[in-house]
Structure 1
């Protein structure tokens, strides 16, 4: 599913109006009618409730006025609060204001704090609040009167429906402009906005519903939008069927370079993540002194003991053996639990520049690139970086909070500038490709905030690549299924106490259910 920035959505509206000749008031009517229908379906017994609709001076307020008309027609008790003088309402919003006046829908002008204070007692008796105050066009922080109104609405603890976007939310970054409405339901128009699909925007949006307002599909296709929400249908369509007459050689061979003293679990989880995702064969390269324990632990994974340092980490002397191991392999997943030993770091940098099959670079292999990021331009193969926010921060020499403030922008910049695929892990994992496209996965939950989850994902990406999937498809499928497995575990067992092996064991079932179109999976899409 495509998603839009604020400027892209405004451009699409303009194309619909100017190129296709759709009057702007028709788009407003479609938006308001669709929102009203959504509200009627969302709230049980709404006919017996009092709905307060807060109207700003712009098109967002105009949408709110349309909503009031349709709710009024259904017998809902409406009270409109106009946050600007009637004389400042213009265009399509003015047309709808005139209609509302002729319909005798109750309306009061509340344009300053004095009027606001006089009406607070009345507002306390509202059952539902509709926020049509500011919309998606906000460019500066919310201050003064509007800030006071938003603070009060939030304190009322009434169900809040935001029209197009919670007032005060930056719909590109997902961060509030000083303050934002905390909605229970946001009804957005045309397409979801990028900031509504990521944190912290999700905390303000509540449940998100998208309304088709009549922008032609051709216009959406021609817009060349670069941001997408990964959906169940995308993943289902990408997963390949297996031929009955096939064998393990048909499903690829992954080489995993992972592990050090105290971190053998990371190596095991990455290897099992690949197998449970369908890889035909997995070989684990492990520091030689740790090989016996991994042979005992991993029955289905082949192991290869490799030269090590005195600290039992990978030695630079392992380079030639790893190069030989890549023959007849479809990809290499490296980094989980390997340590930051200087020799190990040098080994990773050499492998990045010398290997010719896809490389999934995770954990300490990402850390090895800190200060050497430009070496990626010397790579001879497709590169997939899978950092968590802390690893991305070390990679770029910035703070973790800076990464978290612009996850989409940073993932896109690193992918585009260095010609790699980026999987920036975290709540709402971001996938970026070398062309600047961004994909946001809606799956996953806080129960997955535990050691080893990223190792499983690294193995999964490698597992899908060796099965013959394009790199981007392998990333999208792996991230979505990984998170969905966690969601289903949390649903069935609870999130607290979930471990990475729980996800590993759930993967075959999730893949099967997606292929069989289990409908409950669709609930995760937003």
Structure 2
């Protein structure tokens, strides 16, 4: 499912109208009908609907929805934010239609507006569309504030008024929608924070624009879907053996953070790797021994400290020599000479490499060392780690997650997994996937380590690094969602995720078409 910017959507609209011959009026009719259909599926006939219509195409979509809702048996009143004479061409045409159909309407004035607001049971926000930037002006601002304060359900047409369609920035005021009906394609602002919170449930409705038009216009951002993920999943071969499914080498679990590496290793086992080895400082070996029976342990000489130091990179490379993928970071810790340690691994490890947690902290000391790698590399930063890699603030990262991830991935030719709500997976070619699964219950220590182990496991099994990252991230979040339904978000812990990977895999795999 493609995700577009406002400019991409504008270009696709123009292409559909001018090159494909589908008139703007037909698109508006389809859009308004789609909004009405969503409302009909969620609210019973007889629900009193108040439609707030702006002067542009968004308002026109709302006017079409008013006509279809009235025809379906919903009492409807329309309030225009501007005088009818100020409506744009298509919106003016649709306003004339609702008048002919006898649908109740009025122009905004405070008394009429508040009277109709108090009578309504459902509000439709068709005030401002995807091309609007900045804070809404009068009377839009007053209408938005009052709609929010009414605490009545709000269905937003295409995007909540006041929300930036490109980055999810929220102007004040901004509609807090119960549901947003995104037309043709998802808009970036709906899958970025804080925009996603204001959008409520997002529903994408087709309006006659062909799906391939997005690809033709160079759209390289998409939302992961369960069907797509199911299609990536590979069945186990009847004659397969443990060597068939790869050998993962994980490095971490210093004395202070033994559990991190163990979580990653256990997750790698549960995600299907044939063999998993965890490298730990020799002095930390007793604390790790026997905790996960299926994981092999490799002690790394540590001078009795239980911690890592620069010269251990050589030992790690030797221990990993016959492995298929190397993941460094969960429980690694921070230490003097860390940059030298990591640079040696980056330069000399000739197979897929995954960097997470403190390995990313070490990398931030000189990100350009990534240019020395030609083999596949996957980075899995959370926003704080990403800010450190970029040398900016967390707020800057969160304001433009997609752009930052894409730019970093293409600049350094890596796969980058920017974790968080709507995790961003960026490919070195500039393709970006957004993950819709997961919940706040997963905001707890160790869940990132579990994800690292899952990605490493899939890469070891032969999945392309980008596909492995998309599959692991979606599965990781879906597992968290499944657990949240069972035990609640409050009680969710990283170890719980590991035991639920298998059932979640089965549930998704059943959606596979081939």
Aligned to 2:63: 65
| Pairing of 1:273-352 with structure 2 (within 5 A) | 273-308=267-302, 311-352=305-346
1:116 aligns with 110
CA distance in 1, matches of 2:307, 2:363: 17
Going from structure 1 to structure 2, the CA distance change for 1:312 and 1:73 (only over 3 Å counts) comes to same
- 1:255 is paired with a residue of what secondary structure? strand
Q: Distance in 2 between matches of 1:90 and 1:272?
A: 60
Tell me, yes or no, if structure 1 residue 75 matches structure 2 residue 69. no
Give the aligned partner of residue 401 of structure 1: 395
1:181 paired residue number:
175
| Alignment match, 1:22 | 22
**Which of 166, 188, 212 is matched with 2:160 structurally?**
166
Residues 221 and 431, structure 2, Cα contact 8 Å, conserved in 1: yes
Please identify, of 176-185 and 358-367, the stretch whose mean Cα deviation from structure 2 is larger.
Answer: 176-185
Q: For residues 458 and 444 of structure 1, do their structure 2 counterparts lie closer, same or farther at Cα, with a shift above 3 Å needed?
A: same
Q: Is the 1:456–1:504 contact (alpha carbons within 8 Å) kept by the matching residues of 2?
A: yes
Number of matched pairs: 513
Checking the alignment, whether the CA contact within 8 Å between 2:352 and 2:376 is kept in structure 1 is yes
Contact 2:350 2:375 in 1 (8 A): yes
1:481 alignment partner in structure 2:
475
Shift of 1:310: 5.8
* Aligned pairs for 1:227-306 within 5 A: 227-306=221-300
1:444 aligns with 2:442: no
Deviation string 1:284-332 (CA, Å, 9 cap, x unpaired) is: 1111111232222231111111122564222333222222223221110
**Matched-pair contact (CA < 8 Å) for 1:34–1:211:** yes
Tell me how far 1:175 sits from its aligned partner. 1.6
The alignment status of 1:413 with 2:407, answered yes or no, reads: yes
The question of whether the paired residues in 2 share the 8 Å contact of 1:313 and 1:344 is answered with no
**Secondary structure of the residue that 2:425 maps to in structure 1?**
strand
Asked if residue 103 in structure 1 is aligned to residue 139 in structure 2, the reply is no
Q: Any conservation in 1 of the 2:310–2:336 contact (CA below 8 Å)?
A: no
Could you tell me how far apart the structure 2 residues matched to 1:76 and 1:146 are? 25
Query: TM (normalized to structure 1)?
Result: 0.95
Deviation per CA, 1:76-112, whole angstroms, max 9, x where unpaired?
Answer: 21111011111111311111111111122111111xx
Question: Which whole-Å CA distance do the structure 1 matches of 2:461 and 2:6 have between them?
Answer: 39
Q: Per-residue deviation at 1:5?
A: 1.0
CA distance in 1, matches of 2:211, 2:156: 25
Report the Cα offset of residue 145 of structure 1: 2.4
Q: Are 1:464 and 2:436 matched, yes or no?
A: no
Q: TM-score, normalised by structure 2?
A: 0.97
Deviates more, 1:195-204 or 1:10-19: 195-204
Counterpart Cα distance in 2 of 1:380 and 1:100: 62
Tell me the distance in 1 between the aligned counterparts of 2:75 and 2:343. Answer: 67
Aligned to 2:216: 222
SS in 2 for 1:167: coil
Contact 2:248–2:456 (CA under 8 A) maintained in structure 1: yes
1:92 to 83, 90, 93: 90
Does the aligned pair in 2 maintain the 1:314–1:343 contact within 8 Å?
no
Gaps of 5+ in 2: none
Residues in 2 aligned to 1:421 and 1:218: alpha-carbon distance in whole angstroms: 25
Gaps of 5+ in 1: 520-526
1:524 — aligned with what?
none
Q: Does 1:132 align with 2:130?
A: no
- CA RMSD, Structure 1 to Structure 2 (Å): 1.5
The question of 1:501 aligning with 2:495 is answered yes
Deviations 1:448-486 (A, max 9, x none): 111110001001100000000000110001001111111
1:30 is paired with a residue whose SS is helix
Runs of at least 4 residues off by over 6 Å: none
- Report the 3-state secondary structure (helix = DSSP H, G, I; strand = E; otherwise coil) of the residue aligned with 1:484: helix
Counterpart among 350, 374, 384 of residue 380 in structure 1: 374
Q: Deviations over 1:197-230 (max 9, x none)?
A: 2321121111111111101244233123111111
CA distance in structure 1 between the partners assigned to 2:393 and 2:374 by the alignment:
30
Q: Which moved more, 1:269-278 or 1:346-355?
A: 346-355
Q: CA deviation at 1:439?
A: 1.0
Q: Which moved more, 1:236-245 or 1:400-409?
A: 400-409
Shift of 1:436: 1.4
Identify the range of structure 1 (145-154 vs 357-366) with the bigger mean alpha-carbon deviation. Answer: 145-154
Distance 1:312 1:447 in 2: 32
C-alpha distance in 1, partners of 2:208/2:198?
26
Give distance in 1, aligned partners of 2:303 and 2:61: 67
User: Contact 1:333–1:359 (CA<8 Å) still a contact in 2?
Assistant: yes
